Amino acid sequence: MEILAIKTPVFKVNQSLIDFIKFNVKELSEGDVLVITSRIVALAEGRVGKIEDREQIIKSEADEIIKTPWVNLTLSERGWEINAGVDESNADEGLILLPKDSWQSAELLLESLKEHYKVKNLGVIISDTRSVPLRIGTVGRAIGCAGFLPIKSYVGKEDLYGRKSRVTISNMADALATSAVLMMGEGDEQTPLAIIENAPVSFTDKSLNEKDKELNLSPEQDIFSYIYRRGG
């Protein structure tokens, strides 16, 4: 597997994302996965706001908010986030929100890209970053994808010693997003796109169903809920 981060001009709000990709990505081959940072997807959708409206925007983007001395911990269909993903870094002015529906955006981009680049097996990931409890820094994550199965189950499969796995599931989408974000950077690199070649995923030409999109667990399913709910 190889990852190529692509340097581009600065993406502007309401700019055409598909035209931007076609201009900056000269070729996509069979088995490639194109990773697109959520920021330019959001900018293409006009998902921006004013700094003075930050608190109201966060409230409108979150289902639940836990205030801390540093940030707002927010819960949505994407899981736990800081400030509902609302950020001002790498924003010309104001705030950038997350895309409205990253899964749908990935699906629409995939169809256009497959037609333009004349490939059958192609994947798209819309990436963002996240903080991990009790770990310093951030890592990449997929908040939407299309063209491949985002999870790989080992349930029922034997390990080296013949023991069958009961719970192991690999989150392929997050793993690829993390690898791509490492190459794309999070500062002034100006590389909002990355191509992953020979990604070890199962490609599909069908739209992902709701079960395929279940990269997040509900609070009731999350084993860590016993920690963050214990005071409730």
Q: Is the pLDDT of residue 64 over 60?
A: yes
Contact 225, 219 (CB under 8 A): yes
Q: Is the pLDDT of residue 21 over 90?
A: yes
Cα–Cα distance, 185 to 166 (Å, whole number)? 36
- Across the chain, mean pLDDT equals 92
Q: What is the pLDDT of residue 228?
A: 65
**What is the three-state SS of 45-85?**
CCCEECHHHHHHHHHHHCCEEEECCCCEEEEECCEEEEHHH
Lowest mean pLDDT among 12-26, 88-102, 133-147, 218-232: 218-232
Question: Where exactly are the structural domains of the chain?
Answer: 2-46+100-216, 48-97
Name the token pair of 79.
């899981």
Residue 115 pLDDT level (bands cut at 50, 70, 90):
very high
Determine the topology of domain 2-46+100-216 in CATH: 60s Ribosomal Protein L30; Chain: A; (3.30.1330)
Name the token pair of 126.
């819309």
Mean pLDDT confidence for 206-215:
78
**C-alpha closest to that of 25 among 122, 101, 98:** 122
Cα–Cα distance, 95 to 110 (Å, whole number)? 27
* Strand ranges for the chain from DSSP E: 2-6, 32-37, 48-49, 64-67, 72-76, 79-82, 95-96, 122-131, 138-146, 151-153, 169-171, 193-197
Mean pLDDT confidence for 161-185:
93
Residue 229 pLDDT level (bands cut at 50, 70, 90):
low
Name the token pair of 69.
């001395």
Q: Is the pLDDT of residue 231 over 60?
A: no
Q: What is the pLDDT of residue 41?
A: 98
Mean pLDDT confidence for 141-156:
93
Q: Is the pLDDT of residue 232 over 60?
A: no
Q: Is the pLDDT of residue 54 over 80?
A: yes
Q: Is the pLDDT of residue 202 over 90?
A: yes
CA angle 181, 107, 173 (to 5 degrees): 35
Q: Is the pLDDT of residue 113 over 80?
A: yes
